[in-house]
């Protein structure tokens, strides 16, 4: 369990370090407040920001800057998705998936040790730590202060194998007016308490697998994808290179800048379902480098195919599209 705690702590430390980094590097543009410079005091400025991919929503007084970074932690490559907004305060968010950690394996001691290790890493003093939860998933609220007097308020959750890290950085209480202290506390609470999950993130099935599970009409299985797995009773199987022979348009994916920087390359295989008209209606990654997967899926959704007939009638087709990312 000590190894798990260290891994968990290192994961959140990397996440928090990256959040602080992008907050200093770039600043998202907050909405203009004609009534003054304190954007947070304008109720109209606060809008719900959501991420379907991340499975969460939160209130923010503006649109955050987003960036994804890849880190190798304990031999596992993890993509951390980062969001930052700086108005009068700094609002920070991140999430990622850790395959080596499961929520059910994390104990109270793990969370407590995480806070202590993170505090030591950033040379901050933890002044408050309480147990919290979101929709039954355990977490921690942490309040800490830096040697420079900046105050950190944050929440950490683990949902399935996904972690969420939220934080607000504000001026400390020393030397601050009571009005400023109340303002920082109120805005921090408004942001942190607004966090909610949009959907269960413990779902292990991808978009294609979910469609196959819920399909009420037949789906043709293309060559190379019938791996002996159990298929719905209504599924038909047609041998031969169904998709390869019928592809009419295959847009190439953009090479993500973060993947170039990390010198990520190689083949990404995307599993797709094509409808009766040849349009891709579902896509999910089968294999490939994590930093290249999203670009491949986006390109796959734009691919087009000629219709496939079974007994003279057009049918949906399950197959794969392969993309080869080569560094120039």
218: its two tokens: 């037949």
User: Distance (Å, rounded) from C-alpha 211 to C-alpha 70?
Assistant: 30
Give 221's pLDDT tier (boundaries 50, 70, 90): low
Contacts 24+ apart (CB under 8 A), 80-84: 80/14, 80/15, 80/18, 81/51, 81/53, 81/54, 82/15, 82/18, 82/19, 82/22, 83/49, 84/19, 84/22, 84/23, 84/26, 84/27, 84/28
pLDDT band at 241 (very low <50, low <70, confident <90, very high): very low
Q: Tens of pLDDT along 272-325?
A: 888 888 899 888 888 888 778 888 989 999 999 988 887 788 888 888 899 999
Reported as a single tens digit per residue, the pLDDT across 100-111 is 555 566 677 766
pLDDT value at 220 more than 60 = no
Spatial separation of the C-alpha atoms in residues 106 and 15, rounded to whole Å? 18
Report helix, strand or coil for 164. Answer: strand
Judged against a pLDDT cut of 70, whether residue 233 lies above it is answered with no
Nearest to 81 by CA among 256, 209, 251: 256
pTM for this predicted structure: 0.57
Give residue-wise pLDDT tens across range 9-33: 444 544 555 444 544 444 444 444 4
């Amino acid at each position: 369990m000590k190894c798990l705690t260290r891994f968990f702590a290192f994961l959140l430390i990397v996440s928090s370090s990256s959040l602080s980094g992008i907050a200093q590097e770039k600043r998202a543009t907050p909405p203009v407040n004609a009534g003054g410079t304190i954007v947070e005091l304008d109720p109209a400025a606060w809008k719900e920001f959501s991420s379907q991919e991340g499975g969460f929503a939160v209130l923010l007084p503006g649109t955050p800057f987003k960036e994804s970074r890849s880190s190798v932690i304990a031999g596992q490559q993890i993509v951390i998705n980062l969001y930052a907004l700086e108005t009068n305060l700094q609002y920070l968010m991140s999430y990622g998936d850790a395959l080596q950690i499961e929520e059910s394996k994390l104990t109270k001691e793990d969370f407590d040790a995480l806070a202590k290790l993170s505090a030591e890493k950033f040379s901050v003093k933890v002044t408050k730590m309480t147990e919290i939860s979101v929709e039954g998933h355990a977490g921690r609220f942490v309040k800490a202060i830096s040697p420079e007097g900046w105050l950190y308020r944050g929440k950490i959750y683990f949902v399935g194998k996904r972690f969420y890290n939220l934080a607000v950085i504000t001026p400390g209480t020393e030397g601050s007016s009571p009005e400023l202290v109340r303002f920082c506390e109120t805005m921090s609470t408004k942001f942190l308490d607004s966090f909610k999950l949009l959907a269960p993130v413990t779902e292990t099935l991808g978009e294609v697998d979910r469609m196959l599970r819920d399909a009420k009409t037949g789906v043709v299985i293309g060559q190379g994808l019938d791996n002996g797995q159990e298929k719905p009773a209504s599924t038909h199987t047609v041998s031969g290179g169904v998709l390869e022979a019928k592809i009419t348009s295959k847009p190439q994916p953009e090479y993500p800048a973060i993947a170039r920087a990390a010198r990520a390359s190689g083949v990404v295989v995307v599993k797709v379902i094509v409808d009766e008209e040849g349009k891709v209606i579902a896509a999910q990654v089968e294999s490939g480098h994590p930093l290249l997967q999203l670009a491949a899926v986006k390109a796959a959704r734009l691919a087009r195919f000629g219709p496939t007939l079974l007994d003279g009638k057009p049918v949906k087709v399950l197959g794969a599209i392969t993309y080869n990312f080569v560094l120039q």
